Amino acid sequence: MPVIAVVNPKGGVGKTTLATNLAGYFASQDERTMLGDFDRQQSARQWLSLRPAGVKPIDTWEMNGEIARPPRGVTHVVLDTPAQITGKRLSEVARVADRIVVPVQPSMFDVMATQHFLGELEAVLGNARRFREIVSIVGMRVDPRTRAAEQLARFVGSVGLPVSGYLRDTQNYVHLAAHGLTVFDIPSQRIDKDRVTWEPLLQWLGR
């Protein structure tokens, strides 16, 4: 049972968008999926309350402020984490996570903050090989054809981690989230381009 943690201490980088859509993907594959919300704002949990009847269910992982292994029978867990996560909390996430996905937007401020965080995360994991095996970067709101995407790719290359995907800058995520939905819940040609951008990340997670 994989536990996938979406982590970046910088706020506003798209952690909840990434976490909810990952959970939506696993649910769409008929996996018993749980979405854990370790953020005090509880955005992911509020999103779950909006999910309509008729779409694949996603369970809430009740953690009560603590991170532990989820109950038996669950096949996939996605964990949304708060901004400014450090120290003990980061260690708890690293302890249970089989994969750690770090969303980054293509701005100098995001890159600088993420660079510092990745150093802390590697120290927490305590093993450089494990760090490179379980951690990956996802570019958020990125057009791969832009100079910003090139700069993000150079940064990721400098830290020796894979870029497991670039998600488009589109309002589709905003509109779907308002109804508790993901790009994997709606079989619409309108969001085909969005689903395609997830394929590299899903392949990396499946390895």
Q: Which CATH number characterizes residue 169's domain?
A: 3.40.50.300
pLDDT for 13-50, tens place per residue? 899 999 999 999 999 999 999 998 776 667 888 899 99
pLDDT for 96-141, tens place per residue? 899 999 999 888 788 888 888 898 999 999 888 899 899 999 999 8
Alpha helices in the chain (DSSP H): 15-28, 43-50, 87-96, 108-125, 128-134, 147-159, 172-177, 192-197, 199-206
pLDDT for 68-106, tens place per residue? 566 677 889 999 988 888 788 888 888 889 999 999 988
> How high is the mean pLDDT of the chain?
86
Cβ-contact 79, 44 below 8 angstroms: no
198, pLDDT greater than 90:
yes
Determine the Cα angle at 34 with ends 38 and 186, to 5°: 110
**Residue-number span of the structural domain to which 175 is assigned:** 3-206
Q: How many structural domains does the chain have?
A: 1
For β-strands 76-80 and 163-166, DSSP reports them as unpaired
Does this model's pTM top 0.75?
A: yes
pLDDT band at residue 1 under the 50/70/90 scheme? low
